[in-house]
Copies of this chain bind each other. A is one copy, B any other.
Amino acid sequence: MTVTPLFWLVPIASVVALAMAWFFFKSMMKADEGTPRMREIAEHVRKGAMAYLKQQYLVVLKVFLVLVVLFAFMAYVLKIQNPWVPFAFLTGGLFSGLAGFFGMKTATYASARTANAARKSLDGGLRIAFRSGAVMGLVVVGLGLLDIALWFIALSYVYGTDHVALITITTTMLTFGMGASTQALFARVGGGIYTKAADVGADIVGKVEADIPEDDPRNPATIADNVGDNVGDVAGMGADLYESYCGSILSTAALGATAFASAGEMQMRAVIAPMIIAAVGIFLSLIGIFLVRTKEGASMSQLLRSLAVGTNTSAVLIAIATFLILYGLGLDNWIGLSFSVISGLTAGVIIGQATEFYTSHSYKPTQAISESAQTGSATVIIKGIGTGMISTCIPVLTIGVAIMLSYLCANHFDLSMSAESISKGLYGIGIAAVGMLSTLGITLATDAYGPIADNAGGNAEMSELGEEVRHRTDALDALGNTTAATGKGFAIGSAALTALALLASYVEEIKIAMTRAMESGQQFIDAAGNAFDPSKASMPEMMEYFQVTLMNPRVLVGVFIGAMAAFLFCGLTMGAVGRAAAKMVDEVRRQFREIKGILEGKATPDYGSCVEISTRAAQHEMILPSLLAIIIPIVTGVVLGVAGVLGLLVGGLCAGFTLAVFMANAGGAWDNAKKFVEEGNFGGKGSDVHKATIVGDTVGDPFKDTSGPSLNILIKLMSMDSIVMAGLTVACNLM
């Protein structure tokens, strides 16, 4: 088979994305950074963020070295592992780290410039913040496709492009997702702990006890808080979505290689289809990005519309383009597969809308939380948790419908569960996830824009730029909160679909590991006592061999452990934020007490010690939950075998998805319930009702920015981990 010429779109798109990112970065750097005070604060934040990132990468490097040695040992000594894994793992981690690094570097240069532009006009601020967010979006998709293109070219040079080779290549490439997931988990967990320790600590002493506004320069934790926005919300999110993006493309390619293994040229087309959709998505995202323009003196709703025009245009264009791409590729059932993509895209939009409904204070649920604050902070918490739990309903039903539709559209509405119907259906689920993430260039831009605007506000407050500028940055920030809802819908929806696609890839990897074991002399006997040849087994035969039925106690115990893993992981990250925040509160209280004149603005607080506390807490606390996420699937595989692991992944996925939606939405709703009161409802700023909503907001911080988003990665890391460790599961299953 030859590589379809269309494939070359993939490296081209990645280079274009990186070049455009460079262009946006350079043009942002040309803007003025403002007054000396503004520069100074930006410099503080930048230094703190970079110092933290360096330390985090050092910790992650150690973990990576240990894992690489382990993978190399499994590959070269035990010979139960694909020999490319150590390298693929490393490049995945490296590129994911780079995406976070460049995004954060851009953000830290952009915040003062955004604030400065906002001194003149609202839309000047918007343009700088949004274009800087676009740098992040383009770097993520550019590096992702670059990594994919390079590996695909290299491996097809080594293995050729026949039917067997394509399966080998795609399953090998899948393992670089493990590197990206591991990096992403540390970035999300570490960054999440960092930012929320600072934020919670700053809020408790500043807003509740000392009654000073957010980002007030008298608050010693305020620089740490702004650093946190960058390391958590920017660098963490970059690594996270890099991983989703590559994971969905790679797992779909692997599914395509299997589903069309005996379909001649069709196999190559199925493998590169997700890559090409992603490549075209880059160009369409660029169109969207350029569409985001505003007139001088635009109103808030005009601003919102101009952002929405960008993202919606890209989404509609990709929906249309998918038909053309799949038709152009000459893929079988291209119409059905295009509808799979559309069901994924639509699901993302619906989840985003539901998120907005449950978390925006323009709607009743969040207003009701504000109302419940009239009876104190306890009822705010009860109401918020209740609302968050109820809000899981629409996203779960939407994902359920999307799963059924993308599966059925891809396999001609065949529910027979034959080998072919399953593999084609799962390919449909995978390509729906790719469709959802194909316009990541622009959706991530609107997401990364948020923390930049937030930091610009911080800079404006600390530089005492005056009420009007702060109003403008607040407007930019509020805009970010709204657009972020859609972004979240795509992020979590695609995580669920990708994780489902990875389930199938896991079974494929087990098959490969068994084939390898058989070649070294191991024999497999099925339940009936006959010899079992994994290399010839179809998906249903594999499932039967491993007795993956719901009546198998190993499957049931696996599902239990998967659900528990999601809770345990959240519990550990919540606890970490609690502990770190307590240290932060102690330190801020100490400074208020010991540094004379600090509250009158006559003495400078010691910002550095607060940065230090967050840094140390994040580094220390991110280890345990992250390692658990890696170890649980391995131990489950060794003790309960393939059936147990599949149970674990399904349980982790379903409970984790629901828990993630609950936490993200409860957190978002509390945040906006507070804003609703601040806008003058139920007593307004400074009232008892306001204080009660601040408690809700503070509890919601780790919900929405630490534990909730980390679950997205946990879901996929557990799958990736199981895939990479397939050889070990085959070699040392105890039962």
Chain A interface size, as a band, is 35 or more
Stretch from A60-68, A136-144, A571-579 at the B interface = A571-579
A539 vs B550: C-alpha distance when bound (angstroms) = 11
Q: Measured between C-beta atoms, what is the minimum distance from A580 to chain B in Å?
A: 11
Looking at chain A's contact residues, the main secondary structure is helix
Closest to A425 in B: B553
17 A–B pairs (Cβ distance < 8 Å), ordered by A: A378-B694, A378-B695, A378-B699, A383-B575, A385-B699, A386-B575, A390-B571, A390-B572, A392-B564, A500-B556, A503-B550, A540-B551, A550-B646, A550-B647, A563-B563, A563-B655, A567-B659
Q: Which residues of B contact A407 (CB under 8 A)?
A: 553
Determine if B560 and A735 form an interchain contact, defined as CB atoms under 8 angstroms apart: no
| A residues 362-392 touching B (CB-CB < 8 Å) | 372, 374-379, 381-383, 385-392
Q: How far is the CA of A699 from the CA of B376 in the complex (A)?
A: 11
**CB-defined contacts of A426 to chain B, threshold 8 Å:** 551
A493 close to B (CB within 8 Å): no
Q: Are A568 and B389 in contact (CB under 8 A)?
A: yes
A543 interface neighbour in B550, B568, B662, Cβ under 8 Å = B550
- Is A512 on the interface with B (CB-CB < 8 A)? no
Spell out A's residues near B (CB within 8 Å).
200, 203-204, 208-209, 372, 374-379, 381-383, 385-393, 396-397, 399-400, 403-404, 407-408, 415-418, 422, 425-426, 429, 500, 503-504, 507, 527, 539-540, 543, 547-557, 559-564, 567-568, 570-575, 577-578, 581-582, 585-586, 646-647, 650-651, 654-655, 657-659, 662, 694-695, 698-699, 702, 735
Q: Contact between A377 and B695 (Cβ–Cβ < 8 Å)?
A: yes
CA distance A522 to B668 in the complex (A): 52
A450 to B397, CA, bound (A): 41
Smallest CB separation, A652 vs chain B (Å): 10
Indicate if the CB atoms of A568 and B654 lie closer than 8 Å: no
The answer to whether A559 touches B559, judged by C-beta atoms less than 8 angstroms apart, is yes
Q: Give Cα A572 to B391, complex, Å.
A: 10
Complex contact A574–B382 (CB within 8 A): yes
Given A386-B575, A556-B403, CB of A396 within 8 Å of CB of B563: yes
Chain B residue numbers with a CB within 8 Å of A503 are: 550-551
CB distance from A207 to the nearest CB of B (A): 11
8 Å CB contact of A735 from B208, B415, B507: B415
Say whether, besides A397-B561, A400-B561, A418-B527, A382 and B654 are in contact (CB < 8 Å).
no
> When A396-B563, A397-B561, A500-B556 are in contact, do A385 and B551 touch as well, CB less than 8 Å?
no
